[in-house]
Structures are given as structure tokens and as C-alpha cells.
Amino acid sequence: MGERTNRGVVYRAPGVVVIEPIPFPRLFNEAQKRKCEHGVIIKIIVTNICGSDQHWTTGRLPIDPGTVLGHEMTGEVIEVGSEVEYIKLGDIVSVPFNVACGRCRDCKEGNTNICSNANPGGLACYGAPRCGEWIGGQAEYAMVPYADFNLTVFRDKTKAMDKIKDLALVSDIFPTGFHGAVTAGVGPGATVYIAGAGPVGLACAASSFLLGAAVVIVADLNKERLAQAKKIGCEIVDISKDEPIPEQIRNILGVPFVECAVDCVGFSAHGSGVEGHKKEQPAHVLNTSIEVTRPGGKIGVPGLYALGDAKATDENARKGALSLRLGLAWAKSISIASGICPVAKYQNRLINCIMYDRVKIAEAVNAQVISLDEAPQGYVDFEKGAAKKFLIDPHNIVRTWGHK
């Protein structure tokens, strides 16, 4: 067994990710010197490129060269730690991107996004800098700790493989978009404004429909992404136009406001208007959300805001601070819910929705399956704004399923 090999997506320099041999996973976290007999090793069936990966690979947020990337994993269990009780060899599983111990107060309360133990210093995530050094999963094989707690098993393997492109998305972006919608108060009959037509924005749109929203309006400056939003039944707002956003909303709804807003963009937001959209304005999405949300409404913020942003154009933003129109928010009694999604909280119900055809999430985000060797090109295309979500299929399993 000593000869088992592995390959993964490795960050080398800003703009440069490569496919390299990496160590075969062990039931151990080297950096934390931590035994993981509660973990399993999985053979990756599918692992996706995420928008947050780009923040690191483009050099926006700090990361060490050599880091193996990837936190959206679906796989087959091929090795089981001695402490694992319920996960079995051969299980097909989804891995929530949050690494969680299942034993601390926050995990017990379902808040796996803020587990105190998996990374004592902060957020815990696979393949992400300063997140507990859990090796990334854009690879052939990966290790998942606390497997009984963290993993969700797809009981019917055949049916799961038939929907594997959809199920691949419950490790992160589908729950993340759903969380954004839930925290914004989306429910039956709601009108929703979603900033960002990237994969999270589209997942949020699909989630909003699932939650019964009457009208889902998606805003972006990327025409191709807006076209994808339109294709799945959303109304659109093109922020590269000079027509003010509230007016674009009025054209759709008859009123210049919505009940719920979701910021699926985060700190790299651009301004709006023919000139304005060309440069970054980190508070623009949030301030627009405050402006277009009706009194008493809520704003969900799944989009990432960084603790600091060395490349930011304004000084506040460099320190992770934003000039927010709090006076307006206060006058309108608006609430703002921010932060990372606790994926485990939503997985079972979203899987049910997929298995019973209540949502076509892979179609919604335009999932494209590529090989591991194509991953670097996927990063390039995604950074250019391709209206696609890239799913890496390192063992050629997804692309051959059903064709045998």
C-alpha cells in the first residue's frame, strides 16, 4: 500500500495552479499533529472549483505556495479509521466544506461553520490557508476527519451516480446559496434581489425558487452570466447600465424595492453604471442591498468579506472595513446576516430535493465536468467570468457513468 499515489491541484504563484503529485492522504493532520482515526480516506468522484479558490489563486488573499486546493468534495470511502462507526467502506459520500468536530458547543447547535475545535484559531476548511491545514480535495484522494459526523452518505449508489453532477454541489455552493436565501428571509411569495450571477448567485436563485419566491432578480455585469440567470427563470439587472438599480427593479416589479436581498459577491464588488462598474467599490453591493430592500427586510451575506484585503482600492477596505450606509439601514429597520454557511444543516433536505427532482441545480449553475488535468484551464476560464461551474472528475468516473 506504500506505493499509493495521488495528484492534486497545487497553488504555485499568483495566477499559477498546477497539477502535481501530492502525498497519498493519511489519517493524520500534520500541521496540527493530530491523529485522525475518526476520519476516512475517500477516492474523489467529483471536486469543484469554487469562487473562493480564486481569491487565493489570483493573489488577492494570502496563501502559501504549495497549498493543495479544493474544498468541494464528493467521493467513495476507501479507507476507514479505527474510530469510525457508521461510515462504511464503499459508501458514496458528500463532504461539507466546513471541517467540524461534532463535539463542541457550536457543532452541537448545528453551527458547524464556527466549530471551535477543527481549527482552534478560526474557520476550518479543506485546502484553504489558515483554516486548520486540512489538505485540499482537488485531487484523486483526500482525507476527511470526524467522518461519522461530517459525511453525508448517499444510500442508493446508483441513483446517486445518476445525479452526481447535482449532488456534487451540496458540498458547498448549493447550501451556501440556500443559506443566503434563508438568512435573507426568502419564503413563499417573496421578491428577491440577488447580487452576483456566478455559481453561488445562481445557486441562491435556484434555492429561492425552492423556497417559494415569487420573483428572483439577479444582478451582475457579466452578460453571459446574466443570460444563464435568465435561462433559469430569473429576472435580471445589468449593473453595467446607467439606469439606476432601483429603476431596473421598478421595471420588473412595479416598485423599486424587494423584500429580501442576498449578497453573493462579497468584498470584490464593483460599482454600477457604464463607468462605475469598471472599478471596484467594495461596499457597493451592500449599500445597494440596503437601498433596494424594503423596510423590515433582511439581507443575507454569503459572499465573502475578508478580514483584510491588501489589494483593495480604498484604505478602509484594506483593513476589512466598509463604508456602510447604516443610517439608511437603521431608518428601514433592516437586518444583515453575514458569514459562512453551515453546510451540514442543509444537506439532507437539499439532497432530497435533488433526488426527487424538485431542483436542477447542476443545470442552474451550468455545471461542466472536466478532468483533473484540465483544472488549471478551468481556473483561468472561471477567473475570466465563464458562466460555468467546473466539476473536476479525477478518475474519469463521472464522464463515463451511464456510458458503459
Interface residues for its own copies in 252-271 (CB under 8 A)? Answer: 267
Q: Looking at 3, 33, 158, 295, which residue binds its own copies (CB under 8 A)? A: 295
Q: Does 310 bind its own copies (CB under 8 A)?
A: no
Among the listed residues 18, 30, 296, 400, the single contact to its own copies using CB under 8 A: 296
Question: If we measure between CA atoms, which residue out of 82, 64, 59 comes closest to residue 127?
Answer: 64
Q: Between residues 309 and 393, which has the closer beta carbon with respect to its own copies?
A: 309
CA–CA dist 272, 53 (Å, integer): 25
DSSP 352: H
187 binds its own copies (CB under 8 A): yes
CB of residue 240 vs its own copies: minimum separation in angstroms? 24
Minimum CB distance to its own copies, residue 211 (Å): 6
Residues 209-228 as x/- pattern, contact with its own copies by CB under 8 A: xxxxxxx-------------
Would you count residue 183 as binding its own copies (CB under 8 A)? yes
The count of chain residues that interact with its own copies, using the rule CB under 8 A, is: 82
Which residue, 177 or 394, has its beta carbon nearer to its own copies?
177
Site for its own copies contains 284 (CB under 8 A): no
Stretch that binds its own copies, among 2-10, 66-74, 113-121, 224-232 (CB under 8 A): 113-121
Measure Cα distances from 284 to 129, 237, 289, 322, 341 in Å: 27, 15, 8, 9, 22
Do 146 and 153 touch, CB atoms closer than 8 A?
no
DSSP three-state, residue 1:
coil
When the beta carbons of 106 and 374 are compared against its own copies, the nearer one is 106
Q: Determine, following the binding rule CB under 8 A, whether residue 202 of this chain makes contact with its own copies.
A: no
Report in angstroms how near the CB of residue 29 gets to its own copies at its nearest: 12
**DSSP per residue, 76-98:** EEEEE-TT--S--TT-EEEE-SB
Three cell numbers at 356? Answer: 426527487
- Smallest distance from the beta carbon of 148 to its own copies, in angstroms? 4
308 scored as a contact of its own copies (CB under 8 A): yes
Residue given cell 443566503 in the structure block: 180
Going by DSSP bridges, is the β-strand pair 73-80/92-95 parallel, antiparallel, or unpaired? antiparallel
The angle that helices 199-210 and 223-231 make with each other, rounded to 10 degrees, is: 20
In the bound complex, what is the minimum distance in angstroms from residue 77's beta carbon to its own copies? 15
Does residue number 38 form part of the binding site for its own copies (CB under 8 A)? Answer: yes
Binding segment for its own copies among 11-19, 238-246, 351-359, 390-398 (CB under 8 A)?
Answer: 351-359
Q: Out of 139, 197, 204, 306, name the contact with its own copies by CB under 8 A.
A: 306
Which amino acid appears at position 324 of this protein? L
Residues 6 or more apart whose CB falls under 8 angstroms from that of 317 comprise: 267, 282, 283, 309
- For the CB of residue 151, give the shortest distance to its own copies in the complex, in Å: 10
CA distance 299 to 193: 9
Q: Which of 211, 98, 210 is nearest to 152 (CA)?
A: 98
Spatial distance between the Cα atoms of 123 and 109, rounded to a whole number of angstroms = 16
Coil/strand/helix, residue 368: strand
Q: Quick check: 111 binds its own copies (CB under 8 A)?
A: yes
Question: 44 to 73, contacts with its own copies by CB under 8 A?
Answer: none
